[in-house]
Structure 1
Amino acid sequence: MSRWSPRDAEGEPEGLILFDGVCVFCSRWVRYVIDRDPRARFSFMPIQSERGRALAARFGIDPKAPQTNAVIWNGRAWFKSDAALTVLGALPRTRRLAILKSVPRPVRDALYDLIARNRYRIFGRTQTCMVPSKSDRARFP
């Protein structure tokens, strides 16, 4: 079993996405999900928050140098490409992309890791976590 294999997430809220809040790419991902999630099934927590750091530690994510995001779905925590494809598979317009889970995880995660390693260099980094709009604040517990 890989370190990033899906695992039990008992007690965690369904649809919670744990993300790197200072990563511009990750913040854009959150905005992308919000804009395409009319049923508001997903909520968001930056790893840099107090609760985010605790959750990251529970799942083996280094909050100082996160290598993955995570999503809680069907009572399990999903990581790396599994997390992204799980979210995309739950959104109305991108549901078909879930078929990419048929690609072996090591292949998908190699691409995920390439982007993750270079995300600050390519997309940038902020000094503070993203601030949600008033209308979106309820989705950031």
Structure 2
Amino acid sequence: MPESNEEDRPILMFDGECNLCNGFVDFILRKEKDHRFLFASLQSERGRQLQEQFAIAPTVDSVIVINDKAAYLYSDAVFQVMKALPWYFRLLLVLRVVPKAGRDRLYRLVAKNRYRLFGKRESCRLPTAEEKSRFLQ
């Protein structure tokens, strides 16, 4: 995908200190072939601005996808990512039949325990030179 305005591309906001979240970003970078997503850590200036712009409480414990001028949280954010991945990952969209309350409950359980289960970094993820254009500061 050619470089375009930030407003035209989905933005994935993630906890830059969380190993699970960083692994999810790495997964997207490997699998998403058209380079659609931009990334912003929740700890970055741009991440904080987006949280404020979309009235997302700082206590929200989720990756966040900003797409089509809307913010998606919890399982809905994951489904937004799945739509951008190769067809075999989009098969997971069938899980949307599970009631949102149940999906989000499971998401929150993992999110609540992510540092204990997957560890925490001392500092936010630094993009490589090739990835730098996709990370918002």
| Fold match by TM threshold 0.5 | yes
Letter in 2 for 1:18: M
The one-character-per-residue Cα deviations of 1:102-130 (angstroms, maximum 9, x if unpaired) are 21110000100000000011111112100
The one-character-per-residue Cα deviations of 1:45-102 (angstroms, maximum 9, x if unpaired) are 001011111212333231xx54111112233211100001121122113111112112
In structure 2, how many angstroms separate the alpha carbons of the residues matched to 1:86 and 1:23?
A: 20
TM alignment of 1:1-141, pairs within 5 A: 12-58=7-53, 59-62=55-58, 65-92=59-86, 93-141=88-136
Work out whether residues 89 and 96 of structure 1, in 8 Å CA contact, stay in contact via their aligned partners in 2. Answer: no
> TM-score by structure 2 length?
0.87
Unmatched runs of 5 consecutive residues or more in structure 2: 1-5
Q: Work out the percentage of aligned pairs sharing the same amino acid.
A: 37
Any runs of at least 4 consecutive aligned residues in structure 1 with deviations exceeding 6 A, and if so which?
none
Aligned residues: CA RMSD: 1.6
Q: Specify the SS of the correspondent of 2:81.
A: helix
> TM-score by structure 1 length?
0.84
In structure 1, how many angstroms separate the alpha carbons of the residues matched to 2:17 and 2:60?
A: 11
Count of residue pairs the alignment pairs up: 129
Unmatched runs of 5 consecutive residues or more in structure 1: 1-10
